């Protein structure tokens, strides 16, 4: 059976995510959990103190940072002196670029991940400071995942700034429902299974959000559209409206 309290719980998690960002550098995003609401209720405790220091105390039965937070590794290579430097950043979601395609052409999630992690040339205004050269130099940058979260959130970057305005990409991105292999993007070969999709229909100026979510026992998918919940087939999950993908690491 689907859980009618899911939309309310999703709204609460969306509200808490900015607070989690300020609470700890290791807590970046809390959107939804692959567990039922009743199992969370007994130990869910949230208190906000509006003191001058704006202290925030959040206690969850599950560690949010362990579930949603991963670590990105950013590697810089100076083209002048060949010096390598590395820095690490916490992420709560991966914002994936969508490769450009001709009208009607689709892409795969793998292509988006490859584009996200491919080497990027940094020069001119984007040139970073080289520690060895002690000046801005032409460099190459590559992003990989140093630490994988239990739940990985992938945001398909459909909105991009063109020359004159912000445009929305309608390219259909195909994605696996099970067995997403992330071994090419980090030091460990993890498999992930899809359990939720957030969809956006409409334009840059106006639109509507819906969600596809896998039932707790994995028996079927449901569409959450405002107060309406209806069963959907796996074929309906793949569309040009898919916006945010939620994958759970396989045990």
Burial grade of 96 (CB within 10 A; 0-12, 13-18, 19 or more) = buried
Q: Are 73 and 144 in contact (CB under 8 A)?
A: yes
Question: Per residue of the chain (251 residues), what is the pLDDT tens digit?
Answer: 444 444 444 444 544 444 444 444 433 333 344 443 344 444 444 444 444 444 444 455 345 777 888 999 999 999 999 999 999 998 989 999 998 875 567 899 999 999 999 999 998 888 999 989 999 999 999 999 999 999 999 999 998 887 788 888 889 999 999 999 999 999 989 999 999 999 999 888 888 999 999 998 888 999 999 989 999 999 999 999 999 999 999 98
What's the pTM?
0.75
User: What is the rounded CA–CA span in Å between residue 149 and residue 72?
Assistant: 11
Cβ partners under 8 Å of residue 87, min gap 6: 73, 74, 76
User: What is the rounded CA–CA span in Å between residue 24 and residue 85?
Assistant: 25
Burial code (b: 16+ CB inside 10 Å, e: under 16) for 230-241 equals: eeeeeeebeeeb
CATH number of 6-249: 3.90.70.10
Q: Are 14 and 68 in contact (CB under 8 A)?
A: no
User: What pLDDT score does 218 carry?
Assistant: 84
Domain ranges of the chain: 6-249
């Amino acid at each position: 059976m689907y859980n009618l309290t899911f939309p309310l719980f999703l709204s609460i998690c969306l509200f808490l995510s900015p607070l989690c960002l300020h609470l700890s550098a290791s807590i970046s995003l809390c959107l939804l959990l692959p567990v039922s609401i009743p199992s969370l209720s007994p130990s869910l405790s949230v208190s906000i103190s509006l003191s001058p220091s704006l202290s925030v105390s959040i206690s969850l039965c599950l560690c949010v940072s362990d579930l949603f937070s991963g670590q990105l590794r950013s590697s810089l290579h100076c083209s002048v002196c060949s010096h390598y430097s590395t820095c690490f950043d916490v992420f709560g979601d991966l914002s994936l670029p969508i490769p450009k395609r001709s009208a009607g052409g689709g892409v795969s999630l793998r292509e988006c991940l490859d584009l996200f992690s491919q080497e990027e040339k940094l020069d001119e205004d984007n040139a970073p400071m080289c520690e060895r050269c002690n000046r801005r130099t032409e460099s190459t940058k590559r992003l990989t995942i140093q630490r994988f979260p239990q739940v990985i959130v992938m945001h398909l970057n459909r909105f991009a700034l063109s020359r004159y305005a912000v445009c929305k990409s309608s390219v259909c991105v195909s994605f696996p429902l099970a067995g997403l292999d992330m071994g090419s993007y980090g030091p460990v070969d993890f498999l992930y299974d899809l359990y939720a999709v957030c969809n956006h229909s409409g334009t840059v100026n106006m639109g509507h959000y819906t969600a596809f979510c896998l039932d707790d026992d994995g028996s079927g998918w449901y569409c959450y559209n405002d107060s309406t919940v209806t069963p959907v087939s796996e074929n309906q999950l793949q569309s040009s409206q898919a916006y945010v993908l939620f994958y759970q690491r396989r045990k």
